[in-house]
């Protein structure tokens, strides 16, 4: 048995993708952006500062996607990451935030860096446990939900989302709803949580396969939140890069078929990896959105080490996502690679006891 890799976070795998490596690691689409995105680049563009809140045309286009909204309800950010960071920084001061676990691995550090205190509610079968949620939401400043979820691949029931909407409203608790995978749901349309107490976080990264361009946004009906976020962003990063905003606006002009076609590809991959892992004996939730599976896995660190060192397969430790008895696989790679990866996993299973 090799010595387990000393890995602290997904960042430790950056640059480790040499030839022959199959990576189930990185959580980003491998598909190309729509051609419209590049058509948005204007090579004679004014490059002076833009509005901190974001380009008006982009916010106007977004307002059309959010019923009852105006451009004033949006702030364009350096990806969803910055949107989340800004929101929690304007609150800070020791306030509690309810967080379903397993969670996206940046959530706890973002909360802690903002001097907020995460309070966890453990998922049951990959879904929010409303009984526990109701108990723990009391006294929280906000809840942070993510449906479809990275890393579980689960989509919360509309009934659950409506219940969260209602309870939080009654209790005066904000909902921060990270919906970056909203266009990657296999089972149904997205149900965006509504209300004056809701802050929606979104991104062009996953829908339009342009993670590296770093354009995301937040939506809120609360003018004070918008103003406070803009005030903070004035000092911490100024406007979001203008070329990226132009590209995001242009990407929105891609035909609906672009997104539909992506979804077909993701669904095929989902079906393939889900069945493949079941066949290998893994116990896992069936993804309903996004592009992650989170199978149960004993001796996860040893297994991950063997997979990487002996079979050149990258997977992520569940413990980075608050699930120490699991590993996370992203299926953002083509079916042939998934097939090869599964075949290597089959070999590795002979060396480590994971069930």
Of 1, 18, 20, 48, the residue at the interface with a copy of itself (CB under 8 A) is 48
Of 89, 182, 194, 206, the residue at the interface with a copy of itself (CB under 8 A) is 89
Q: Is 288 in contact with 155 (CB distance < 8 Å)?
A: yes
Site track for a copy of itself across 106-125, x = CB under 8 A: x--xx--x-x----------
Q: Look at the block and give the residue holding tokens 């929101």.
A: 87
Segment contacting a copy of itself by CB under 8 A, of 62-70, 95-103, 232-240, 336-344: 232-240
Site for a copy of itself in 234-293 (CB under 8 A): 234-244, 247
Which contiguous run of DSSP H or E holds residue 175?
strand 174-178
Q: CA of 328: how far to CAs of 31, 51, 104, 304, in Å? A: 20, 39, 11, 10
* Shortest separation between residue 320's beta carbon and a copy of itself, angstroms: 12
Nearer to a copy of itself, 112 or 170 (CB): 112
Structure tokens at 192: 């965006």
102 in contact with a copy of itself (CB under 8 A): no
Structure tokens at 264: 């077909």
337 in contact with a copy of itself (CB under 8 A): no
Nearer to a copy of itself, 12 or 159 (CB): 12
Which contiguous run of DSSP H or E holds residue 98?
strand 96-101
Interface with a copy of itself (CB under 8 A), residue total: 54
Rg (alpha carbons) of the chain, rounded to whole number: 20
* Shortest separation between residue 74's beta carbon and a copy of itself, angstroms: 16
Task: Give the C-alpha separation, 194 to 189, whole Å.
Answer: 15
212 in contact with a copy of itself (CB under 8 A): yes
Q: Tell me whether strands 216-220 and 74-77 are parallel, antiparallel or unpaired.
A: antiparallel
* Shortest separation between residue 98's beta carbon and a copy of itself, angstroms: 19
Of 49, 94, 189, 257, the residue at the interface with a copy of itself (CB under 8 A) is 49
50 in contact with a copy of itself (CB under 8 A): yes
97 in contact with a copy of itself (CB under 8 A): no
Task: Give the C-alpha separation, 199 to 218, whole Å.
Answer: 7
15 in contact with a copy of itself (CB under 8 A): yes
Spatial CB neighbours of 150, under 8 Å, sequence gap ≥ 6? 27, 104, 181, 290, 292
Q: Is 309 in contact with 348 (CB distance < 8 Å)?
A: no
Structure tokens at 55: 């380009």
Nearer to a copy of itself, 29 or 276 (CB): 29
If DSSP codes are grouped into helix, strand and coil, which group holds residue 153? coil
Q: Give alpha helix (H) positions in 100-241.
A: 107-113, 130-137, 158-171, 223-236
* Shortest separation between residue 161's beta carbon and a copy of itself, angstroms: 26
85 in contact with a copy of itself (CB under 8 A): yes
Return residues touching a copy of itself (CB under 8 A): 9, 11, 14-15, 26, 28-30, 33, 37-38, 41, 43-44, 46-52, 78-79, 81-82, 85, 89, 106, 109-110, 113, 115, 209-215, 230-232, 234-244, 247
């Amino acid at each position: 048995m090799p010595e387990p890799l000393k890995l602290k976070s997904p960042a430790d795998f950056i640059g480790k993708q040499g030839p022959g490596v199959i990576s189930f690691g990185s959580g980003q689409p491998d598909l190309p952006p729509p051609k419209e995105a590049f058509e948005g680049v204007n090579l004679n563009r004014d490059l002076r500062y833009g509005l901190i809140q974001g380009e008006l045309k982009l916010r106007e286009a977004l307002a059309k996607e959010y019923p009852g909204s105006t451009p004033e309800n949006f702030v364009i950010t350096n990806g969803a990451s910055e949107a989340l960071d800004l929101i929690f920084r304007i609150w800070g001061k020791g306030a509690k935030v309810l967080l379903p676990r397993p969670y996206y691995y940046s959530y706890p550090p973002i909360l802690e860096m903002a001097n907020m205190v995460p309070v966890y509610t453990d998922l049951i079968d990959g879904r929010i446990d409303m009984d526990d949620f109701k108990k723990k939401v009391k006294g929280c400043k906000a809840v942070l939900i993510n449906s479809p979820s990275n890393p579980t691949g689960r989509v919360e029931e509309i009934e659950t989302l409506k219940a969260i909407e209602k309870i939080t409203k009654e209790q005066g608790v904000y909902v921060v709803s990270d919906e970056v995978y909203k266009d990657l749901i296999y089972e149904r349309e997205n149900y965006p949580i509504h209300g004056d107490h809701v802050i929606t976080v979104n991104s062009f990264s996953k829908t339009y396969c342009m993670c590296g361009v770093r354009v995301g946004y937040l939506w809120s009906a609360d003018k004070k939140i918008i103003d406070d976020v803009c005030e903070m962003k004035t000092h911490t990063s100024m406007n979001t890069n203008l070329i990226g905003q132009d590209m995001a606006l242009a990407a929105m002009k891609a035909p609906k078929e672009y997104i539909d076609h992506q979804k077909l590809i993701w669904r095929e991959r989902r079906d393939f990896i889900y069945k493949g892992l079941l066949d290998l004996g893994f116990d896992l939730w069936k993804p309903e959105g996004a592009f992650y599976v989170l199978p149960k896995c004993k001796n996860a660190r040893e297994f991950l080490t063997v997979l990487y060192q002996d079979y050149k397969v990258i997977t992520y430790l569940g413990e980075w996502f608050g699930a120490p008895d699991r590993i996370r696989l992203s299926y953002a790679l083509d079916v042939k690679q998934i097939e090869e990866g599964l075949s290597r996993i089959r070999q590795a299973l002979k060396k480590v006891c994971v069930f």
